[in-house]
Amino acid sequence: MSDLSAGGRLTSSSSSTALETPVLSIRDATFGYDERPLWSNLNLDVAQGEFIAIIGSNGSGKTSLLRAILGQEHLTAGEIKLNGKSISTGSRSIGYIPQSRSVDANTPLRGKDLLTMGLNGHRFGLPFTSRKDKARVSHILDCIDGHELAKLPIGQLSGGQLQRFRVGQAVVDEPDLILADEPLSALDLAQQSILAELIDRERKDHSAAVLFVTHDVNPVLGMVDRVLYLANGQFKIGTPDEVLRSDVLSELYGAPVDVVRNQGRIAVLGALGADHEHHAHEEWH
Amino acid sequence: MLFDFSDYAQLLPLVVNSLLAATLLGLMGGLIGIFVMNRDSSFAVHGISELSFAGAAIALLVGVDVVFGSILGSLAAAVLIAVLGSRAKERNSIIAVLMPFGLGVGILALSLYQGRASNKFGLLTGQIIAVDQPALAWLASISALVIVALLLIWRPLQFASLDPEVARARGVATSKLGYVFMVLLGLAVAASVQVVGALLVLSLLVTPAAAALRVTSSPKVAPLLSVLFALTASVGGILLAVGGGLPVSPYITTISFAIYLGCRAVAAARKRAARASVAKVSA
């Protein structure tokens, strides 16, 4: 892979956090179905509190990477460690924000139940919620401005309202790693920035690392430490300024790509499937 | 005559076992029904009950304990459905394949059976007096087991049922819980078949929960209401059946259905009221 991804940036990042184990460590990871790897030799150390945007076109393997970290897909080669330990299927150290999608209107859950499940849903035993857990849920409701909506069935919430509770659910148990799978898709710009700020604030408060899969880097541009750009079976890792450049992305795609900056926003033009528009289908569903 | 309560005081002691059984079934059915609804498994209940019937019919024919036969049939069905039908779509077709087979085997066994005819009919449509001491002991142990197990796995099972993606990400063993649930469901169905019969199990394991979920979306209130409805139907049905000359199941199913209709009416009225208040605010 390129110097940028395998060499310089990675070393500097791991040396700056040399004293702590990285929250997430991906080593020589290759993933693919049959002969065609979606990405290969991926190396990535994610430090505490680091915000990494994962960008790429459809079919580039963004969701597969998240699923591999969640232990729901197996790597073809390499390994992934969470807090220094090999991953298993899911973990309580992970807060997960699934893609925004509509919920059946009759789902018997209210907003605050979603939060409570994020806190104690994994726990066996008599289903009573402790006072401490209730207080924690109430605190998160403060954070997401959700007290008024907390008693509504989640099927009655708008997309943006539901995603606020999803963010709350992901952070309520103070995870070390937040995995967000296109949490902003299908939301309007105002809601996108509210949610992005919520996630940003939570990761700062609890120094949680964030892997944020998105089609559009703009809503999170101000908070992103590094970008992992997947395309064409290859990838680049680095700061937005290092990766989101015409020459770097052109090399990645093997075709001319224009990265246009305008008033603090970035648009990637020209690459097949790389345009910043919403795609109806995400890969592997 | 539909009702005759003149000898009620003399009849009641005869059905004490049945009333106890009905109470246990109401508790168990109301609780597990919530998960049957949450996991969209109503059809599985029906499928399991047909195989439970087949198991009971075979047991009757070969002269072993009927409850034992029905548990075996239930568990076989539950495990088959859980293993072969891990995806919802597959599950329904597996059930649709198993169900007529089970019913056919059951009918075959019953037609070969030479004993009392009421035994045959009871397996399909339920019976009250038939709950003798050993049968009650079976029911009590099964329902105690199912209720306690359900309470202990309640939170993870609810998480896995209603929010499976996030539950898996948080390390909840969703598929293992699915197997455990199917086994518990198999036991619950086998127990219910003894009282309401194979054809009408849904009225105890599905209808009360479906009714409760019409009027509340609180995960605490729903199971409580569901249990209340199931108890009303099962115990109330037996109390009415004592005074009437019909099998117990029509009473149970009718009460259950009436409660469901009532809950739908309440939900509809609430919706209208909500719309009216919105209209008032915007006017």
Amino acid letter, B31: L
pLDDT in tens, B102-114: 999 999 998 898 8
The answer to whether residue A7 is domain-embedded is yes
**pLDDT of B167:** 96
Interface test with A, best of B166, B216, B218, B225 (most A CBs within 10 A): B166
pLDDT in tens, B78-110: 999 998 877 777 888 999 999 999 999 999 998
pLDDT in tens, B229-240: 999 999 999 888
Q: Which residue of A has its CA nearest to B221?
A: A108
The answer to whether residue B249 is domain-embedded is yes
pLDDT in tens, A154-200: 999 998 899 999 999 999 999 999 999 999 887 888 888 888 998 99
- CB of A106 closer than 8 Å to CB of A154: no
DSSP per residue, B98-126? HHHHHHHHHHHHHHH--S-HHHHHHHHH-
3-state secondary structure of B210: helix
What was the ipTM of the complex prediction? 0.86
pTM of the entire structure? 0.89
Residues of A in contact with B218 (CB under 8 A): 108, 110, 113
**pLDDT of A277:** 41
Angle at CA of residue B233, ends B231 and B234, nearest 5°: 65
For residue B158, the domain's CATH number is: 1.10.3470.10
The answer to whether residue B1 is domain-embedded is no
Distance between CA B200 and CA B125 in Å, rounded? 7
The answer to whether residue B3 is domain-embedded is no
CA distance readout (Å), A47 to A26, A87, A199, B110: 12, 17, 16, 69
Within an 8 Å CB–CB cutoff, is residue B257 touching chain A? no
Residues of A in contact with B274 (CB under 8 A): none
The answer to whether residue A164 is domain-embedded is yes
* Total of domains in chain A: 1
pLDDT in tens, B34-74: 999 999 999 999 999 999 999 999 998 998 888 889 999 99
Read off the pLDDT band of A11 (50, 70, 90).
very low
The answer to whether residue B2 is domain-embedded is no
Average pLDDT over residues B214-237: 95
The answer to whether residue B42 is domain-embedded is yes
Cβ neighbours around B244 below 10 Å, total: 15
Dihedral sign of CA atoms A13, A19, A22, A28 in order: positive
The boundaries of the domain holding residue A122 are 3-269
Lowest mean pLDDT among A72-86, A190-204, B112-126: B112-126
**What are the tokens at A109?**
């859950």
Within an 8 Å CB–CB cutoff, is residue B166 touching chain A? yes
Average pLDDT over residues A94-119: 90
The answer to whether residue A230 is domain-embedded is yes
The answer to whether residue A278 is domain-embedded is no
The beta-carbon neighbor of B168 closest among A72, A113, A117 is A72
**CB contacts < 8 Å between A and B, how many?**
97
Distance between CA B110 and CA A213 in Å, rounded? 60
* Total of domains in chain B: 1
Cβ neighbours around A11 below 10 Å, total: 11
Please state, rounded to an integer, the average pLDDT across all residues of chain B: 89
Average pLDDT over residues B270-277: 87
For residue A47, the domain's CATH number is: 3.40.50.300
**pLDDT of A39:** 86
Interface test with B, best of A72, A122, A282 (most B CBs within 10 A): A122
Q: Which residue has the higher pLDDT, A9 or A19?
A: A19
The answer to whether residue A276 is domain-embedded is no
On the question of pLDDT at A82 being above 50, the answer is yes
CA distance, residue B87 to nearest chain A CA (Å): 14
pLDDT in tens, A230-282: 988 889 999 999 999 899 888 888 888 888 888 888 888 876 554 444 333 33
The answer to whether residue B251 is domain-embedded is yes
Query: If you ran DSSP here, which 8-state letter would residue A155 be given?
Result: G
The answer to whether residue A173 is domain-embedded is yes
The boundaries of the domain holding residue B65 are 8-282
The answer to whether residue A280 is domain-embedded is no
**pLDDT of B128:** 57
**pLDDT of B283:** 60
